[in-house]
Structure 1
Amino acid sequence: MPRLVAIDRPGGPDFVAELQRIWDAGDAAFPVDQRLPARAKADLVGAMRVGDDVERGDALVVATSGSTGAPKGVVLTHDAIASSARATSARLEIEPDDHWLACLPLSHVGGLSVVTRALQSGTELTVHPGFDAEAVMNSGATRVSLVATTLARIDPARFRTIVLGGSRPPVDRPANTVATYGLTETGSGVVYDGVPLDDVEVRFVDGEIQLRGPMLLRTYRDGRDPKDADGWLPTGDLGHWLDDGRLHVEGRRGDLIITGGENVWPEAVERILSTHPAVDDVLVRGCPDAEWGHIVEAVVVTNGSPLALDALREHVKSSAPAFMAPKRLTLVEQIPRTSLGKPIRTATQP
């Protein structure tokens, strides 16, 4: 029987060669997060049951980020990653002379999917051990996958296309960027700039986004299948179709702030606050309150300029209802985020 084999090495040609060797042997690969200490690596390898059997046709086990709990092992088949590669390459209009750069963590699907996409399409591929702005600019690549924080450190004009995943894209993002929506369970982004990829179906159940398509996971490593009997995957995200037919993702169901009976989505407030001249980075969350149920809190990294709560409130109220304005301001040195730039809202709880 094929088995699960760990790849515990940094990004580079050796990583790609090891992945190909594992696949040639009929086994499945589990990329290990290189930023973890030895004990954490050992615990994760054990949790993913490295060395145990996998089903024939399984290609990868990818750990979810674990920002809201213990990481789950997402099992992706060869058929699923091939479907993802075909659909993303078609949408991005990949050319024979294109050159992909992988510089995000390969333990996460946002970085690993660049590698699998290039291998499936035969596109030239460069893999870096991590993000380094100078190395990215000198890579010679034409396509790259980044997150908002890394995008800000390079000249975007250097690339034909920049695929943006992870956290919310910047309001003034360059024209050559494509904002993606997807989960580890979908093998990569499956909605590009609000438009589902070919063969990807989207529906809403009580406001929750559900997805179906050939690139979805087979199961979790513990045997649980999050899809229903008809193949629909509940995402835990709420959203709706915009008037122009594009998907709008409101956010995680658990992130919704209900204050005085009004619904406030953190990302909507973050987008407004990020345009304040004193704000360098921001996270919005709800705090329990006896009078309002919850109040909106802004956790802010400033650029060194003084900042007061009243100024933030007025900035929000200039373009949104007053109930969306924060009632609490907390100044911090850094916003806690996952490696792909997603804010960890629970990490800022008092």
Structure 2
Amino acid sequence: MTPTVAVRVDGSPERVAALGSALADALDGGPAVLPLGPDAPEPDVAAGPGTAVVIATSGSTGEPKLVGLSAAAIRASAAATAARLGGPARWLLALPAEHVAGINVIARALLAGAPPVVQDLHAGFRPDDFAAACAELGDGRRYTSLVPTQLLRVLDGDGPALDALRGFDAVLVGGAALEAGLRARAVEAGARIVTTYGMSETCGGCVYDGVPLDGVVVDLDPDGRVLLGGPTLAGGYLGRPDETAAAFADGRFRTGDLGRWADGRLEILGRADDVIITGGEKIAPAAVERVLAAQPGVRATCVVGVPDPEWGQAVAAVVVRDGTDGGWAEPLRAAVRAELGRAAVPRRMLEVAEIPVRGIGKPDRSAVTQLVTRGGDDLHSSG
């Protein structure tokens, strides 16, 4: 077994530098590195031969697992990313370093010849700090990686942060679905947006703007489940042989996501576990979210299924809006009805100030379900 060095990070440049040093050693054949957040428990774990990085999954369903990534997978991911984006560049790290997207930024920067410039996240993501960190990148090509919530804050902040965003040759956006309206707004503002899809088990993003990176294989099983393969694939879950065998088979990782091909690009329809069955009809929350997010005044939305005595489950949505006008719910329902049919119309809708998130920025659907369930007077129910 390979020894594992745990490095605790807290968002500060100093701790990221320590992680970067350990990662460089691991990529050269040294002990595997396990990045941990400030409050995460430290597991007693030894990695398998060839493992360079151990990453805890975000735990979207069940207990987080420990994923073992080889140096070869990390190098393949970095090389494929550079090839797709137009060559090596300086990187800005604006993500938590304990997540796979953060460790990837560090690895890509190191393999391109220089450590990343690090935005201090000790007190959270702030647009002004983003702008200040960008000023340290110097001349030449520059890349960064953000989650949709960060992108929204930069756009809302305008001023120096937005100017800094425009200066990147590519802004990777992943960790959660990027709504079409937010992407359009960013592109209109002059940002070069690249959406990414992937997970810890695939060494992070391996499909860019719906197109697999060089060497990455994407298949769909008969149920529409997305299967991913290629040189960026993880070796499996540490200490969980049964789950490894179930998820990794025939050179493919069986994701929890449903997808389809549209005009030669992979379109993610949402997680299989999130599908809502209402009155016998199957509804993909992501499809409803896309319709809602495209409506005027809607800044963000999240759709979930909640128990319903008549329908089994009811479609419910929380919405972040621009305006203060009344009567907003029915036009949104009408848009969903026109595009997806009556079964997909949210029977319950709640306006919120922001969508609850977890981990690196994924919508917290459990928290959203609780919000809708206890929405009280703010809940707009349809008859």
The TM-score normalised by the length of structure 2 is 0.81
1:33: which partner in 2?
Answer: 37
2:172 to 163, 174, 199: 163
Shift in Å at residue 54 of structure 1? 2.4
Change in 2 beyond 3 A, CA 1:323/1:223:
closer
For the 8 Å contact 2:59–2:65, the answer to whether it is kept is yes
Pair 1:290-2:309 in alignment:
yes
Change in 2 beyond 3 A, CA 1:347/1:270:
same
2:354 to 292, 315, 334: 334
SS in 1 for 2:52: strand
Pair 1:128-2:119 in alignment:
yes
Distance in 2 between residues matched to 1:195 and 1:58, nearest whole Å: 27
2:42: which partner in 1?
Answer: 45
Residues 110-189 of structure 1: pairs in structure 2 closer than 5 A? 110-123=101-114, 125-130=116-121, 131-138=125-132, 139-140=134-135, 141=137, 142-154=142-154, 155=162, 156-172=165-181, 173=183, 174=187, 176-189=192-205
Pair 1:345-2:365 in alignment:
yes
Pair 1:65-2:58 in alignment:
yes
Distance in 1 between residues matched to 2:202 and 2:248, nearest whole Å: 15
The TM-score normalised by the length of structure 1 is 0.88
Distance in 2 between residues matched to 1:279 and 1:16, nearest whole Å: 40
SS in 1 for 2:53: strand
SS in 2 for 1:179: strand
Pair 1:260-2:279 in alignment:
yes
Distance in 1 between residues matched to 2:25 and 2:78, nearest whole Å: 20
Residues 204-283 of structure 1: pairs in structure 2 closer than 5 A? 204-205=220-221, 206-224=223-241, 225=244, 226-242=246-262, 244-283=263-302
Distance in 2 between residues matched to 1:18 and 1:202, nearest whole Å: 32
- Between 1:223-232 and 1:283-292, the stretch displaced more is 223-232
Distance in 1 between residues matched to 2:249 and 2:363, nearest whole Å: 33
1:108: which partner in 2?
Answer: 99
2:212 to 178, 196, 200: 196
- Between 1:311-320 and 1:256-265, the stretch displaced more is 311-320
Distance in 2 between residues matched to 1:288 and 1:248, nearest whole Å: 28
Give the counterpart letter for 1:28 in structure 2: A
SS in 2 for 1:198: coil
For the 8 Å contact 2:301–2:355, the answer to whether it is kept is yes
Give per-residue Cα distances to partners, 1:13-45, cap 9 Å, x unaligned. Answer: 3332243356567211111113x3xxxx2xx31
Shift in Å at residue 302 of structure 1? 3.8
Give the counterpart letter for 2:166 in structure 1: A
Give the counterpart letter for 2:347 in structure 1: K
Change in 2 beyond 3 A, CA 1:20/1:148:
same
- Between 1:304-313 and 1:155-164, the stretch displaced more is 304-313
1:8: which partner in 2?
Answer: 8
1:74: which partner in 2?
Answer: 67
Shift in Å at residue 274 of structure 1? 2.3
Structure 2: gaps (5+ residues): 155-161, 374-383
Shift in Å at residue 125 of structure 1? 2.0
Distance in 2 between residues matched to 1:230 and 1:68, nearest whole Å: 24
For the 8 Å contact 2:207–2:213, the answer to whether it is kept is yes
Give the counterpart letter for 2:363 in structure 1: P
Distance in 1 between residues matched to 2:259 and 2:249, nearest whole Å: 23
Shift in Å at residue 333 of structure 1? 4.1
Shift in Å at residue 137 of structure 1? 2.1
For the 8 Å contact 1:274–1:280, the answer to whether it is kept is yes
For the 8 Å contact 1:102–1:112, the answer to whether it is kept is no
Give per-residue Cα distances to partners, 1:253-281, cap 9 Å, x unaligned. Answer: 01111223333211221122224444343
Pair 1:92-2:85 in alignment:
yes
SS in 2 for 1:317: helix
| Percent identity over paired residues | 40
Higher helix content, 1 or 2: 2
SS in 2 for 1:153: helix
